[in-house]
Every structure is written in C-alpha cells, then in structure tokens.
C-alpha cells in the first residue's frame, strides 16, 4: 500500500489504551505483522489526521492510511469494492443512518471492544457491529435578539404557530435524519400532515447547518428547524446572539465505527477501534468542540448531551426510501 514500516518490535513493549486496557501480546504481534490499518471516515481532514497521528505516536510501528469522504460517497465506494470482490478498508467510520446499508449486505463483522462498556446503550448495538464515536444532536436554534427565551419554540409543532410564518424559519435542504426521526416518532400520516403545514410557513431551504447557524446569528432568520447544538455553542462562545432548545426527544445521529468484513488487516483494525473508542480519543473529540459518545467524557459544555433524552436512528431503515419520501413531501425536484 505504498508504506515502509519498521521491521522490529519487542513484545515487551506495552501498548496501553486509555481506559486501562492492555492489548494482548499475541494481538500486538499480529497487528505488527500487518503493519497498517486502512480507515474510511467521514471526519474532516484536520480531525482525522490528528487522530491518525495520535494513534501512530501511541502505537509504533503501526501506520494509518485514511480515506476521507462524505457518508454517501463512503457507502458507494465500499459497496463498489464489495461488488468487485475486494475489501480495501479495515475500519469504517460513518453516521449510523448510512452504516445500515453495509450491515444488511454483510460488510461489517462484530468486534466487542473492551472500551464499549463506557458507552450508553443508545450509542452501541448489542452484537458489537457498531459503536458511536461522536454525536450530532439536532436542536431548534433561535436568534436571542429577535426571539426571547420565553417565546422560543420548544417543540417542532411550535414552529407551526402563525408567529413563524413568512420565511422566518431556515431548514436544512437535506434533513434526512430529522425526517427519519419524525416518521418513527409520529408515523407516516402525521409526519406528512406536519410537513404540509410546515411548508405553509414558507421556510427557507439552506444547505449546511453551519451556514444556517451563522444566518440565524446574523438575524437573517429568527429560528432554525434543526441545528447541531455544538455548532451553536461555538458561535455563542464567540459572542453571537444565538441559543438553542432541545426538543423531547432530541434527534441524534452518531458517527459509528465498525470492523469491515474480510478486512485485510483485522488485528490492526481492532486495535485502532479500541483507540477510537478510548477516553484519549474522546478527549480529542471534546477538544475539537464536538460531542464524544463515550459516557465518562462529558462534552463542553455538558448541557450539549447531559440528561437529555435522545432518539437514535434504526440502521435497518432504508435511507434511500427515506430520502425519496422526503423529497416528495417537500416537492424537491419537481418542475
């Protein structure tokens, strides 16, 4: 794979992972012989490279070869490789919504990392196919100069009040996970009725939740249907007039890690997953301003997740059907 590796290592070297776990010597030797772990991730370049460097520093001589892309592109690449009869990645890191398609095709295998005991049940499956690393929590955002805390919407249904009519609401053009949650929580009939009423409010569609948060903070819109709360907190810390309210339950779509079926470097992959789930990596996630899924490492500030009831998508749902129904409900793509 284009890498040159150190050729010697003593088994007396201890590889201690955060959380107090020691990797067995025989697994160290197997991973050493493999030499590299190939990581497909949806994390941005800076974050993924930082994690790779931290792992390599902690675990010489292993090297990380990473490929970074969005969830849809990652899924397409993995499926194409499988159809061609090959597996190039060892570890997959993408949102739970998209991992389901890979699970259904048998492209992931269980790995019950000892680190999994530090994660709440909502952020891991029982069999060990996937475990959350970071959490994206969707909340209602509002401009604090234009909307008081008392008047801010406390639920999605509140956005149907006459107060919010006339392009006062911004929403993500591809809010698929939110729509998936509405279907699960309200049922198809009530969700489509809600969408009809929401469309009557004349919301503005904008792409990218960071952009939407900035537009709300600038006063271009009074409220946002669903923002990632950690991004709102970043703007707040910079003095922007923006805040958020968590609906009950709060829609979350964690990024999850899994071990690829027929991984070319399975032992290195397992050690890398242990690191991704470790307290050390969770601290890196928190330092980057994001929400770690690990329970014993609180986000900054803790209100981003602490004590809030969450909704987590079912990876068995067909996300392509959800997307098609979403586009139909909002009239997207119609002439």
Instruction: Catalogue all structural domains in the chain, each as residue range(s) with its CATH number.
Output: 16-135+253-304 (3.40.190.10), 137-252+313-330 (3.40.190.10)
In the numeric block, the tokens 């602490």 are attached to 306
pLDDT at residue 331, as a whole number: 86
pLDDT at residue 335, as a whole number: 45
C-alpha span between 172 and 7 (Å, rounded): 50
In order, the DSSP letters of 35-86 are -EEEEEE-S-HHHHHHHHHHHHHHSTT-EEEEEE--HHHHHHHHHHHHHTT-
Choose among 124, 144, 147, 149: nearest CA to 135. 124
C-alpha span between 301 and 230 (Å, rounded): 9
pLDDT digits (tens, 9 = 90+) for 280-312: 999 999 988 899 999 999 999 999 999 999 999
Handedness of CA 141, 142, 144, 148 (dihedral sign): negative
What does pTM read for this prediction? Answer: 0.85
C-alpha span between 74 and 41 (Å, rounded): 8
In the numeric block, the tokens 């003593």 are attached to 10
Per DSSP bridges, beta strands 255-260 and 108-109 are antiparallel
Where does the chain have alpha helices with state H? 25-34, 45-58, 71-83, 96-104, 176-186, 188-200, 209-217, 229-237, 266-276, 279-287, 319-330
The CA angle 88-135-19, to the nearest 5 degrees, is 80
Residues of the chain with pLDDT under 50: 1-20, 335
Pull the structure tokens for residue 148.
Answer: 């008081």
pLDDT digits (tens, 9 = 90+) for 157-210: 999 999 999 999 999 988 988 999 999 999 999 999 999 999 999 999 999 999
Pull the structure tokens for residue 198.
Answer: 């929401």
Choose among 58, 69, 66, 2: nearest CA to 31. 58
C-alpha span between 91 and 250 (Å, rounded): 28
């Amino acid at each position: 794979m284009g890498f040159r590796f150190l050729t010697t290592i003593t088994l007396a070297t201890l590889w201690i992972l955060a959380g107090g776990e020691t990797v067995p010597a025989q697994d160290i030797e197997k991973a050493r012989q493999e030499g590299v772990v190939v990581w497909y991730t949806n994390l941005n370049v800076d974050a993924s490279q930082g994690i790779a460097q931290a792992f390599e520093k902690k675990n010489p001589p292993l090297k990380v070869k990473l490929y970074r892309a969005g969830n849809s592109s990652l899924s397409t690449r993995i499926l194409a490789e499988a159809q061609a009869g090959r597996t190039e990645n060892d570890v997959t890191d993408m949102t739970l919504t998209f991992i389901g398609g890979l699970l259904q095709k048998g492209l992931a295998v269980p790995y019950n990392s000892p680190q999994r005991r530090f994660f709440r049940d909502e952020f891991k499956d029982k069999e060990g196919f996937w475990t959350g690393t970071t959490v994206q929590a969707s909340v209602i955002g509002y401009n604090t100069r234009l909307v008081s805390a008392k008047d801010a919407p406390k639920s999605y249904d509140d956005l149907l009040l006459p107060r919010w009519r006339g392009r006062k609401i911004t929403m993500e053009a591809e809010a698929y996970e939110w729509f998936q949650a509405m279907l699960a929580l309200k049922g198809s009939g009530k969700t489509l009725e809600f969408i009809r009423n929401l469309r009557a409010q004349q919301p503005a569609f904008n792409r990218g939740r960071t952009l939407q948060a900035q537009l709300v903070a600038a006063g271009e819109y009074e409220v946002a249907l669903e923002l990632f709360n950690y991004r709102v907190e970043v703007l707040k810390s910079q003095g922007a007039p923006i805040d958020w309210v968590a609906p009950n339950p709060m829609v979350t779509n964690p990024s999850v890690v899994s071990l690829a079926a027929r991984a070319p470097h399975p032992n290195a992959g397992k050690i890398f997953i242990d690191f991704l789930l470790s307290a050390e990596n969770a601290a890196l996630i928190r330092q980057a301003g994001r929400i770690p899924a690990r329970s014993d490492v609180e986000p900054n500030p803790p209100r981003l997740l602490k004590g809030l009831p969450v909704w987590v998508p079912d990876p068995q749902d067909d996300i392509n059907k959800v997307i098609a129904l979403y586009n139909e409900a909002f009239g997207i793509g119609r002439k």
